[in-house]
Amino acid sequence: MPIKRERIPHVDDPLAVGKRLVGAREAQGLSQRDLAFPGCSAAYISRIERGERVPSLQVLRELAARCAVSEAHLAWGKRQRLDLDVVERMRDVEAAAASGSKAQRAAAYTALAKAANKAGRALKA
């Protein structure tokens, strides 16, 4: 007889996740459409925000990154904002990837790596 594994949810409460997502999204000045990405439509984001759906861990991570909050904050309410310089460098990388030259992409990734290292050192201090 197989042993059933206990299911451990990756979020505390779907309604609470939705409320935290609304707050994080609005704090960034984003609409549901702005927050949407391939695989996660604005309609799906609306359902998450109403507590009707629980996002997968991958979707939760992407939403957190786009709202500049930690995935722990969206999932469990633990506050840990992303470093604003890292968020800005991530946006630069996205812009360079969309329309930049190879040199622009390399420069954007280098700047992101430096910002991430600086933020990491600050967390350890």
The pLDDT of 78-91, averaged and rounded, is 76
Q: For residue range 99-125, list pLDDT tens digits in order.
A: 878 999 999 999 989 988 888 777 666
Contact call for residues 12 and 77 (beta carbons, < 8 A)? yes
Contact call for residues 81 and 16 (beta carbons, < 8 A)? no
* Tokens encoding 17: 């996740």
* Tokens encoding 67: 């709202």
pLDDT confidence of residue 88: 85
Fold of 14-76: 434 Repressor (Amino-terminal Domain) (1.10.260)
pLDDT confidence of residue 7: 61
pLDDT confidence of residue 76: 86
Model-level pTM? 0.61
Alpha-carbon distances of 22 from 7, 13, 54, 98, rounded to whole Å: 27, 14, 14, 27
Q: For residue range 38-57, list pLDDT tens digits in order.
A: 999 999 999 999 999 999 98
